Amino acid sequence: MSTRCARRASMSTLDQSVWGSASRMATISWIAANAPWPGSVGTEAPAGCALIICICILWSIPPVWACWAEAAEEARQAVSASARIMASAPLARHACHGLDQRYMIEIMSPPLIALLDHLEGREIAFAAGAPVFHLGDPVCFIHVVRSGVVHLVRHQDNGTALILQRAGPNSILAEASLYSASYHCAARAEVAGVTWAIPRAGLLARIEEDTELAIAWARYLAHEVQQARLQSEILSLKTVAARLDAWLSCHGSLPARGHWSMLAHEVGVSPEALYREIAWRRRRGTI
C-alpha cells in the first residue's frame, strides 16, 4: 500500500517536472527560431549559436533527471519499508514458535526424581534414629528419599537441634552438598526408610552432559531456595507466637498432635514453648 502511494506521489512529481521542462523546451524552440545560424551572420555566429544551444540543453535536461532520481529514491524507500515489514512477520512467528517450544519442553520434561531414578546408584535402608551422615563426613552420595523421613539437622551450642530440612518420599536430601566436599550438617532418619544413593561424581558428570537433567536440577534448586527463604524469615522472628503465625500462613493449619515436636524443631523453638503457645490459642479459640 505504501509502495503504491509512493509511486503515485513520484508520478505526480514527475508530471510537474515534465510540464516545467516542456515550457523550457518551448523557450528553446523560440531561441532556435530567432537565433542566428551559420551563414546568416558573420564568422562569430557559429560560436554564439553553439553557446545558446548548450545553455538551453543544460537548462532543460537537469530537472528531468532530478525528477527521475527523486521518484526512484522514493520508490526504493517504499519497497525497503515493505520489505522490513514482511521480514518482521516471519521473525515474530519464529519467536512465538520458540516460546511455544520452550513451554512445551517445560511441560513435557520428566520430574527430577524420575530422571535421578534412572541413574546409577544403590538403595540404602535406615532404621528410625539411624544417622545417614555426620557433620564433616565426605560427600560420597546424593540421597533421594524413597520412603520414610530424614531430617537434616544442625546442633546448636545450647543443645537444641535446628531442622534445616525434612526430606520425605521423592525429595533430595541436602541437595546443595553436591557442590561441597564435606557435609556442613548431619542427617538422621526420623522414620525408618530407604534412600536411593547416587555417587556424587557420577551425578556431577551427568548434569554436565545432560541438558534435560541440568534444567530439572536447576528448577528443583530454585524451588528449594524459595523454601529456604521462608524458613529463614521464620527463624528471624523473635517470639514463638510470631514464628507459629508465619508457619501457619504458609501451611494453613497445624499438623497432627504427634508431629508437634517436629514442628517445634522446624521453627526453632523448644517443644514445651510450642505446646504452651498452642494451648493458649486454643483457650482463646483462635486455633
Cell numbers standing for residue 256: 497432627
- Strand pairing report for 122-126 and 161-167: unpaired
- pLDDT at 254 > cutoff 60: yes
One-letter amino acid for residue 60 of the chain: S
Task: For cell 535402608, name the residue.
Answer: 125
Amino acid 104: pLDDT: 31
More confident residue, 23 or 108: 23
286: number of Cβ within 10 Å:
7
Lowest mean per-residue pLDDT among 114-128, 169-183, 191-205, 246-260:
246-260
One-letter amino acid for residue 58 of the chain: L
Which residues sit opposite 171 in a β-bridge?
Answer: 145
Amino acid 191: pLDDT: 92
List, for residues 165-176, the tens digit of each pLDDT value. 889 899 999 999
Lowest mean per-residue pLDDT among 39-53, 135-149, 166-180:
39-53
Q: Which fold has domain 117-236?
A: Jelly Rolls (2.60.120)
Q: In degrees rounded to 5, what are phi and psi of residue 264?
A: -60, -45
- pLDDT at 121 > cutoff 80: yes
Lowest mean per-residue pLDDT among 24-28, 41-45, 170-174:
41-45
> Are the C-beta atoms of 190 and 130 separated by less than 8 Å?
no
Amino acid 164: pLDDT: 85
One-letter amino acid for residue 251 of the chain: H
- pLDDT at 285 > cutoff 80: yes
Give the pLDDT mean for 185-197: 95
Give the pLDDT mean for 20-44: 51
Global pTM value? 0.50
